[in-house]
Structure 1
């Protein structure tokens, strides 16, 4: 089933036609596990449907594929965007017939912001939706960048920091600030450290883990500012015909023919707003405690997102943390994430972290040991009868591992390949809260790189081991990998073939952690083992 209407039109149609199914909050299905682990919601599919009002009665004609639904929205957005950009901004005559030609002339790159707690699998699902929406081609995934919402907000705040924190004394080097992204449904917080060198060049580093809760403004009035002077009331317009046969209550009053609920401002504050605000306080306190454990002090809280414009929320946070840290609401706080995302697209760079936010591991062919019971189902037999483990990982960096302060740190592994087989190098990442450092490739691991190196014909015996060195470096934009053969005979042959233009069999692919990689493997496992006998996939 594909959506027929979107936005206000969809709500209107669903109201008028009871046989219509209304889909809401379906984006949550891309990362249901984060709903439980991060926001405290269940990831059971049936319960999640009820929590997010996902309409699906189980019949074939009404089955909903969430990626397809999101792709439908992105397709409409994509068509509208390119039509506006090409026709209005570039002054081109845009039509169906010259659309392809114009898209070749003007390369459009998208950057999508996602919730802080989305893992790599959820991000990859969003990329698949973008491919299905024809925003990008499957072989051009580098045209799509993905950045978390707090990171985008932090990049915006980095640019505007002096303006937002002009009340702070001294220079802003080594400043710790919390980005409080208060949205319609969720509130996400991440703490960052700002470093500014003598050349006025800045660098942002995330400290600690982000936190979040489902305490957004969906059911609150952002303009609410209680008047606690005297016996004042707050009016709430009720849907439909209002309340029938209302008998009266000391807390609530009815007006406008029982269509308006009048609630005391004090009760509105204590029953409706304060429980939400207190949950946000708990998130901020968590970030302050995390910083304290690292002997760091929070200097500022920057409020972004739609809910951050609530005058009542601003006042409560400023009052709560008066004397603790500065609280600032940037002028463009609602669009801070969008501004930061554009900044990221124009100058792609990664926000560094003091600890690894994900594991990065090399898939290796390790000897099989029957003493390790968890490896029994991974057993494969090579052509020489030797047993090996399949899907074994050897990590460059493990999740939560403390990282070196210098980004130029290079992590290295040695790989041995039997001549003349091709060298298949595959690197996986995982940012799952559980199992990120498992010994084997799991469903939570995402392949960020796979490359195949063909060895030239040299005077070697079949089965001789050829050594390759794999070096990995975490950079601003992603991961830089260098794979270089260490065998002198093969490297000598490479020099001959290239007429000394290359000194060794060496490749240096670069891969962004914020874009998807190909789902199709260059090699697959077979009963004869991996790397010993490679079964090519078409």
Structure 2
């Protein structure tokens, strides 16, 4: 049997995660996993991103998804813990951090355990569809999605979790809005988007909301490029849960704290499954529900507060007060993308609204009202658009030919001292080359907003001198970043922060390839020029060591 390849897409979410797959070359046969362990024959296109380590017979067992009881003190919102730079307002993530400390575990190892279980489930589904012999002999190409707004460190943490949890299969990481765009433009047919049009992808999920603005270079084959820097924030649907809990605490007063955890979980589950997903507005449309009942087992009757028989009445206006601040955050993000696109000379024609929260009728109507004159488009299967797009990326290859750098990237180095450019305080004497240099100067090789062509290598040129007697040919260079609009020259500027350390090991390079120099004191040293070639992908950065045009292998960055 010839080698067969199966494409697997994984959307590891803050509150829910999804998995889809298709045999290579058969995107029409794409299947979204809907049967999960512990779901008791209930189907769902996603599984809760919930984990717990339970001790049974003196052994620690990993439970996940529907296997975890709502009353269990479980790990939730783990995804947000992978990115330390995000100022999370999601309460469960804070509690999860405390649980991880007690378990003496870190977010990467737990995410690895969770991804391992997702892979086992999808392989089980493939075996049932295609047979054990086919699946055992197949190769797997796994496409994992991450938020576009995440830091490079967080993306690397996700990659490490995936490499451990998903085995040695081919692994590709892409941004969530990128995957959503691939699905949406193929799913919404016919549509009016054509060559030269500009559109915003708004991927509103459980925890994060990601936005990227693309222009269409070609509809068929699909070719897109970023026109402005993407944006986003922690303003997904999970933030509504936090606001609802604050609302219910205020409405019930001291009663809320007196309820059992089981009663509280039933109330929150009622909100999650019956109200949040069905809320469409405050009566402006005929199909809007104006009253909702919330189950609160054990709550005492209070007619003034609308509580009777273990139920509480909520008016649509009450629910709007929960939604509106989060919706306003999203509107602000969309407005910024449209404004920046216009400043760059692009007029946005459409907004593609995807993700779980992106399925909200209320969010859709609010964006319609806010951005009249721009088409708001919700694809079918908006909740699973990201994971479906991940499979399409693994099938058709990359459709995003260029992206915009979200920050400046550079290194701190010594430069020849120039009294007209450099302050005298940075002047240092190089005893080997016997010349003055300026230390702690920045050398920027990627500027914020710069166009990054997919797959194009950016060369970082380095130069070292090595003492022939005791010098080392292993060099460590710290990659630095800056989010300001302009990049400072002083390497100690407070806006500059470290990204990662890359190690260049030139010990395998034959010594006779290095130039030998001798200074006035007869001291001999090697002149060592080399390059680190940096390649930006959708959700990752790769480094390669090059000397005299010859590659000496990939370099792993330490974040």
TM-score range, shorter chain: 0.5 to 0.7
Shift of 1:386: 8.9
User: Who is 1:490 aligned against?
Assistant: none
Counterparts of 1:124 and 1:364, CA distance in 2: 25
Shift of 1:284: 1.9
User: Who is 1:209 aligned against?
Assistant: 230
User: Who is 1:340 aligned against?
Assistant: 389
Q: Secondary structure at the match of 1:118?
A: coil
Shift of 1:352: 5.1
**1:475-490 alignment runs, 5 A limit:** 483-485=546-548
User: Who is 2:118 aligned against?
Assistant: 77
User: Who is 1:98 aligned against?
Assistant: none
Q: Is the 8 A contact 1:2 1:69 kept in 2?
A: no
1:136 maps to 2:167: yes
1:115 maps to 2:115: no
Q: Is the 8 A contact 2:231 2:333 kept in 1?
A: no
Summarize the Cα distance change of 1:280–1:416 in structure 2 as closer, same or farther, 3 Å threshold.
closer
Counterparts of 2:160 and 2:497, CA distance in 1: 17
Shift of 1:474: 5.2
User: Who is 1:282 aligned against?
Assistant: 332
Counterparts of 2:392 and 2:515, CA distance in 1: 52
User: Who is 1:53 aligned against?
Assistant: 95
Shift of 1:74: 1.8
Q: Is the 8 A contact 1:479 1:510 kept in 2?
A: no
1:185 to 194, 207, 210: 207
* Most deviating of 345-354 and 328-337: 345-354
Q: Is the 8 A contact 2:480 2:498 kept in 1?
A: yes
2:372 to 322, 334, 340: 322
1:402 maps to 2:450: yes
**1:136-535 alignment runs, 5 A limit:** 136=167, 143-160=170-187, 163=189, 165-166=191-192, 172-196=194-218, 202-216=223-237, 219=241, 221-226=276-281, 227=283, 233-241=290-298, 243-249=299-305, 253-255=306-308, 257=309, 259-265=310-316, 267-268=317-318, 270-323=320-373, 325-349=374-398, 351=400, 355-361=404-410, 394-398=443-447, 400-403=448-451, 413=461, 415=463, 418=466, 433=483, 439=491, 444-447=498-501, 450=504, 452=506, 454-457=509-512, 461=516, 463=524, 465-466=526-527, 468=529, 470=531, 472=533, 483-485=546-548, 506-508=549-551, 517=556, 519=558
User: Who is 1:10 aligned against?
Assistant: 68
Shift of 1:388: 8.5
Shift of 1:433: 3.7
Q: Is the 8 A contact 1:111 1:145 kept in 2?
A: yes
Q: Secondary structure at the match of 1:5?
A: strand
User: Who is 1:489 aligned against?
Assistant: none
State the Cα RMSD in Å: 4.7
Summarize the Cα distance change of 1:410–1:285 in structure 2 as closer, same or farther, 3 Å threshold.
closer
1:351-395 CA distances to partner (integer Å, 9 max, x unpaired)? Answer: 4556423444467566799x979979xx99988999999997633
- TM-score, structure 1 length as denominator? 0.67
Counterparts of 2:362 and 2:144, CA distance in 1: 30
Summarize the Cα distance change of 1:126–1:480 in structure 2 as closer, same or farther, 3 Å threshold.
closer
Shift of 1:263: 2.6
Summarize the Cα distance change of 1:431–1:109 in structure 2 as closer, same or farther, 3 Å threshold.
farther
Counterparts of 1:346 and 1:395, CA distance in 2: 36
Counterparts of 2:532 and 2:161, CA distance in 1: 32
- TM-score, structure 2 length as denominator? 0.65
Q: Is the 8 A contact 1:418 1:465 kept in 2?
A: yes
Summarize the Cα distance change of 1:409–1:173 in structure 2 as closer, same or farther, 3 Å threshold.
farther
Q: Secondary structure at the match of 1:357?
A: coil
User: Who is 2:21 aligned against?
Assistant: none
Shift of 1:416: 5.3
- More strand by proportion, 1 or 2? 2
1:396-434 CA distances to partner (integer Å, 9 max, x unpaired)? Answer: 223x15348898696573635559778667776566647
Counterparts of 2:369 and 2:324, CA distance in 1: 13
1:35 maps to 2:84: no
Q: Secondary structure at the match of 1:108?
A: strand
Counterparts of 1:360 and 1:117, CA distance in 2: 16
Shift of 1:337: 1.0
Q: Is the 8 A contact 1:158 1:204 kept in 2?
A: no
Shift of 1:306: 1.4
Shift of 1:519: 4.3
Counterparts of 1:49 and 1:72, CA distance in 2: 22
Counterparts of 1:318 and 1:248, CA distance in 2: 36
Counterparts of 2:396 and 2:476, CA distance in 1: 28
1:472-513 CA distances to partner (integer Å, 9 max, x unpaired)? Answer: 57577866868353xxxxxxxxxxxxxxxxxxxx324786xx
Q: Which has the higher contact order (CA 8 A, sep 6+)?
A: 2
Counterparts of 1:113 and 1:404, CA distance in 2: 20
Q: Is the 8 A contact 1:56 1:64 kept in 2?
A: no
Q: Is the 8 A contact 2:401 2:453 kept in 1?
A: no
Summarize the Cα distance change of 1:342–1:173 in structure 2 as closer, same or farther, 3 Å threshold.
same
Q: Is the 8 A contact 1:215 1:279 kept in 2?
A: no
Q: Is the 8 A contact 2:294 2:314 kept in 1?
A: no
Q: Is the 8 A contact 1:208 1:291 kept in 2?
A: no
Q: Secondary structure at the match of 2:75?
A: coil
